[in-house]
C-alpha cells in the first residue's frame, strides 16, 4: 500500500537489526542458523505444565503493573541467595517484557535530551537506538581487542557534566568477556560522588565457564545503590519467545522506572509469570546452567578445531567469537553473508557492534543448539575449508 504522507524520519540512519537480517537470510538459504541467540531445544515439560495449570485455574487477567507478587518474591529470594542483596519485592523489583524492553525503559526513565550515556564498544545493538530515541547521546568507551577488557582510565576521561548513565554488560554480548570484582571497584571509583545511574545488562548471569563467578552489581553495595540491574528468564530457561525479564534496583530508581514501564508495557503475561515463579523454586535449574552450556561450548570449540577459524576466549554467554583472516580477505559482513549463502552456516559479523565499523575479521557463533545442529554446522564448515586447519 502506498502512502501520501511525507515521512521526515527521526532515524534515517537506523536500519533493521542484524539478527533479523541474518536469520531471514539463513531461512532463505536453508542455512544452519548459528547467528541469532536462541536455543533450538525445548525447556522442561515441568515449566509448560505449570503454565497450563495456571491457565486452567483462571489466572488470565491483568497482572499487577510491577509483576505477579509470587514471581517478584521468587526473584528477591534468588538474588539474595546468589549475591547477598536484599531487594524489597514490592518496591524494588519489576517484571518486564524481556530484557530489551527493560533496557529501553530504564534509558527512557533517566536520560533526558542532551544527556550523555557511556557505552562500551563492541556494543549490543539495542542500546544506542534507545539512547537516541529519547534524545540522548551515546559516548563510546572501547573494550580492548582481543581480550575485550575495559580501560577505566578511558571511561573516567569520558565523564562530563552531561554524563547521566553508564551502561555495562557482563557476561558480554557479543564477546563472551566478563567484568571482574576489580572492574566493579574501578567503576565505583569512576562514578563516586556523581549522580550517574548505572544500567547493568546481566542477562547471561548464569552462563559462566571454568569456575568463574558472576560479578553482579546487585552484590556490590556501593554500585547497587545507583544501579538498575537487568536479567532475563528467556536466556535462563530456554524460553526466549516468552519475552519475560526483570529489573532490580533501589526504590527511588525503581519508582522512576515504573513511571515509564506502566505506559510502554504496563504488565506482562500473567500465567507465564506464575509458571516461572513455580519453576524457579528448584534452584538447580539456574545453578546448573553453567555446566550445561560449558559442555556445549567445549564440544563446539572441539568441532571448530578442525577448521582454520581462530577461536577467541569464551568466558561466558552462549556465543563463540572466531577470527577468519586465514580463510578470507572479505570484510566481516560480506564474509558472514557468503558463509550463509555458500557454506550454509549463518553467523553474526562483529563489526556491526562497533560505532566506527571497525573490522577485526571476527564473527560470532551461537552454540545454544542441539548437538546435531552443531555437528551439522561444523561438517559444512569443514567441507568448505578442507585441509586448512
User: Domain residues for 32?
Assistant: 18-43+287-384
At 168, the pLDDT band (50, 70, 90 cuts) reads very high
Residue 359 reports pLDDT greater than 90: yes
Give me the DSSP letters along 18-65: HHHHHHHHHHHTT-EE-SS---SS---HHHHHHHHHHHHTT--SPPPT
- Tell me what pLDDT residue 107 has: 98
Residue 324 forms part of a structural domain: yes
Burial string for 42-52 (b: 16+ CB within 10 Å, else e) reads eeeeebeebbe
Helix (H) or strand (E) holding 229: strand 227-232
pTM value?
A: 0.96
Q: Which residues, 6 or more positions from 270, have their beta carbon under 8 angstroms from its beta carbon?
A: 54, 59, 60, 61, 62, 63, 68
Sheet holding 319-323, edge to edge: 310-311, 319-323, 362-366, 348-349
CATH code at position 320 = 3.90.1150.10
Residue corresponding to grid cell 571454568:
210
Q: Are strands 245-248 and 227-232 parallel, antiparallel or unpaired?
A: antiparallel
276 and 341 belong to one structural domain: no
- Tell me what pLDDT residue 11 has: 85
107 and 216 belong to one structural domain: yes
Structural domain count of the chain:
2
Domain edge (last residue) among 222, 257, 283: 283
Residue 114 forms part of a structural domain: yes
Rounded mean pLDDT, 50-59: 97
Task: Please give the C-alpha separations between residue 263 and each of 65, 66, 259, 260, 305, in angstroms, as whole numbers.
Answer: 10, 12, 7, 6, 49
According to DSSP, the residues that pair with 208 across neighbouring strands are 316
- Tell me what pLDDT residue 10 has: 86
Of 90, 42, 55, give the one whose Cα is nearest residue 69.
90
Contact 219, 253 (CB under 8 A): no
Q: What is the pLDDT of residues 176-194, one digit of tens each?
A: 999 999 999 999 999 999 9
Rounded mean pLDDT, 25-36: 96
d(CA 265, CA 326): 47
Q: Is the dihedral of CA 55, 57, 60, 65 positive or negative?
A: negative
Residue corresponding to grid cell 556523581:
194
Q: What is the pLDDT of residues 90-149, one digit of tens each?
A: 999 999 999 999 999 999 999 999 999 999 999 999 999 999 999 999 999 999 999 999
- Tell me what pLDDT residue 153 has: 98
- Tell me what pLDDT residue 14 has: 81
238 and 305 belong to one structural domain: no
Residue 9 forms part of a structural domain: no
- Tell me what pLDDT residue 387 has: 61
333 and 218 belong to one structural domain: no
294 and 256 belong to one structural domain: no
- Tell me what pLDDT residue 32 has: 97
Residue 2 forms part of a structural domain: no
Residues in the chain: 389
Residue 196 reports pLDDT greater than 80: yes
Q: Which residues, 6 or more positions from 9, have their beta carbon under 8 angstroms from its beta carbon?
A: none
294 and 279 belong to one structural domain: no
Name which residue leads in pLDDT, 9 or 102: 102
Rounded mean pLDDT, 374-382: 97
Domain edge (last residue) among 283, 314, 340: 283
Residue 133 forms part of a structural domain: yes
Residue 167 reports pLDDT greater than 70: yes
d(CA 380, CA 24): 19
58 and 36 belong to one structural domain: no
Domain edge (last residue) among 261, 283, 305: 283
Give percent of the chain with pLDDT exceeding 70: 99
Residue 389 forms part of a structural domain: no
Burial of residue 182, with CB atoms counted within 10 A of its CB: 0-12 exposed, 13-18 middle, 19 or more buried: exposed
Q: What is the pLDDT of residues 200-242, one digit of tens each?
A: 999 999 999 999 999 999 999 999 999 999 999 999 999 999 9
d(CA 350, CA 358): 9
CATH code at position 49 = 3.40.640.10
27 and 70 belong to one structural domain: no
Residue 388 reports pLDDT greater than 70: no
d(CA 1, CA 52): 40
Q: What is the pLDDT of residues 253-294, one digit of tens each?
A: 999 999 999 999 999 999 999 999 999 999 999 999 999 999
d(CA 11, CA 31): 31
Residue 24 forms part of a structural domain: yes
According to DSSP, the residues that pair with 319 across neighbouring strands are 366
327 and 261 belong to one structural domain: no
Residue 8 forms part of a structural domain: no
Q: Is the dihedral of CA 216, 86, 190, 120 positive or negative?
A: positive
62 and 32 belong to one structural domain: no
211 and 294 belong to one structural domain: no
At 15, the pLDDT band (50, 70, 90 cuts) reads confident
Of 235, 220, 232, give the one whose Cα is nearest residue 290.
235
Give me the DSSP letters along 273-326: HHHHHHHTTSTHHHHTHHHHHHHHHHHHHHHHTTSS-EEPP--BSSEEEEE-TT
130 and 75 belong to one structural domain: yes
Amino acid at each position: 500500500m502506498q502512502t501520501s504522507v511525507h515521512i521526515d524520519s527521526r532515524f534515517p540512519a537506523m536500519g533493521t537489526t542484524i539478527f533479523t537480517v541474518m536469520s531471514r537470510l539463513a531461512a532463505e538459504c536453508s542455512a544452519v542458523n548459528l547467528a541469532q541467540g536462541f536455543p533450538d531445544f525445548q525447556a522442561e515439560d515441568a515449566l509448560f505444565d505449570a503454565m497450563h495449570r495456571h491457565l486452567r485455574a483462571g489466572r488470565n487477567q491483568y497482572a499487577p503493573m510491577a509483576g505477579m507478587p509470587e514471581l517478584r518474591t521468587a526473584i528477591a529470594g534468588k538474588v539474595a541467595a546468589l549475591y547477598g542483596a536484599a531487594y524489597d519485592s514490592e518496591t524494588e523489583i519489576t517484571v518486564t517484557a524481556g530484557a530489551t524492553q527493560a533496557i529501553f525503559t530504564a534509558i527512557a526513565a533517566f536520560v533526558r535530551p542532551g544527556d550523555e550515556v557511556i557505552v562500551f564498544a563492541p556494543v549490543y545493538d539495542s542500546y544506542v537506538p534507545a539512547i537516541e530515541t529519547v534524545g540522548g547521546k551515546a559516548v563510546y568507551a572501547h573494550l580492548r581487542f582481543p581480550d575485550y577488557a575495559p580501560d577505566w582510565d578511558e571511561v573516567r576521561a569520558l565523564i562530563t557534566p552531561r554524563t547521566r548513565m553508564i551502561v555495562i554488560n557482563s557476561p558480554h554480548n557479543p564477546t563472551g568477556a566478563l567484568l571482574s570484582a576489580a572492574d566493579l571497584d574501578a567503576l565505583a571509583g569512576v562514578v563516586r560522588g556523581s549522580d550517574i545511574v548505572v544500567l547493568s545488562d546481566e542477562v547471561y548471569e548464569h552462563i559462566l565457564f571454568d569456575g568463574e563467578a558472576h560479578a553482579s552489581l546487585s552484590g556490590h553495595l556501593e554500585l547497587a545503590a545507583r544501579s538498575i540491574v537487568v536479567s532475563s528468564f528467556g536466556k535462563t530457561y530456554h524460553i526466549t519467545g516468552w519475552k519475560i525479564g526483570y529489573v532490580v534496583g533501589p526504590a527511588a530508581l525503581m519508582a522512576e522506572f515504573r513511571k515509564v514501564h506502566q505506559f510502554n508495557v504496563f504488565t506482562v503475561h500473567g500465567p507465564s509469570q506464575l509458571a516461572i515463579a513455580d519453576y524457579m523454586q528448584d534452584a538447580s535449574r539456574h545453578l546448573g546452567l553453567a555446566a550445561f552450556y560449558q559442555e556445549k561450548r567445549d564440544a563446539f570449540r572441539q568441532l571448530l578445531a578442525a577448521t582454520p577459524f581462530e577461536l577467541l576466549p569464551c568466558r561466558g554467554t552462549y556465543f563463540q567469537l572466531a577470527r577468519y583472516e586465514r580463510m578470507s580477505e572479505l570484510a566481516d559482513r560480506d564474509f558472514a553473508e557468503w558463509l550463509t549463502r555458500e557454506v550454509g552456516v549463518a553467523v553474526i559479523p562483529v563489526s556491526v557492534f562497533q560505532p566506527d565499523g571497525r573490522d577485526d575479521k571476527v564473527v560470532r557463533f551461537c552454540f545454544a543448539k542441539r548437538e546435531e545442529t552443531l555437528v551439522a554446522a561444523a561438517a559444512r564448515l569443514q567441507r568448505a575449508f578442507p585441509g586448512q586447519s
